[in-house]
Amino acid sequence: MISQRDRGELARFYTVTDPKKHRKGYTVYKVTARIISRKNPEDVQEITVWKRYSDFRKLHQNLWQLHRNVCGQSELFPPFAKAKVFGRFDDSVIEERRQCSEDLLQFSANIPALYNSQHIQDFFKVKDTFPPFIFPHLSSLLPPLFPSPDSLVSCPPSVPLLQTDV
């Protein structure tokens, strides 16, 4: 039987750092994924995203279910920080959430079914080009890097659409 834990060709390292209060009133954490080739250690990919506690909680639930289906009850899954209405901005609560989030990602780094899952891929999709709390006055001024299909449909009639297949 093949072990569910695998070294693979890539090493994965995750850090959850730099908690900041978002201008909308919640805490965001800087999440960095470093993926290093075991054959060529100079080949490093790094992805940085900013996530809030609810994103981590959702990831924990999804990975827990996937892990249970793949590994059964034979291996313990890391616990996660409980949601709190009061005191969520206390340093101890923020640190507990940060540590549990990092533990979850590090745990997933050793199990192919987890680190190859759609849940992890979706979690590391970049949604913003910069964290809104750093440049709060710019986030509403800058247009998206690429037009969305909705924005193309809502173009005023006076704006000609480009046709590439003429």
**10-124 fold:** PX Domain (3.30.1520)
Percent above pLDDT 90 for the chain: 52
Q: Are the C-beta atoms of 66 and 114 separated by less than 8 Å? A: yes
* Closest by CA position to 46, among listed 35, 37, 30, 59: 35
Per-domain boundaries in the chain? 10-124
Identify the pLDDT of residue 133: 54
Q: Are the C-beta atoms of 117 and 63 separated by less than 8 Å? A: yes
* Average model confidence (pLDDT) across the chain: 79
Given pLDDT bands bounded at 50, 70 and 90, which one contains residue 7? low
pLDDT digit string (tens) for 116-134?
A: 999 999 999 877 544 555 5
Identify the pLDDT of residue 123: 96
Identify the pLDDT of residue 8: 76
Q: What's the farthest any 2 CA atoms get from each other in the chain?
A: 65
Q: Are the C-beta atoms of 131 and 50 separated by less than 8 Å? A: yes
Whether residue 159 has pLDDT greater than 60: no
| pLDDT: which is higher, 107 or 75 | 107
pLDDT digit string (tens) for 20-75?
A: 999 988 999 999 999 999 999 889 999 999 999 999 999 999 999 999 998 877 67
| pLDDT: which is higher, 61 or 87 | 61
Q: Coil, strand, or helix at residue 113?
A: helix
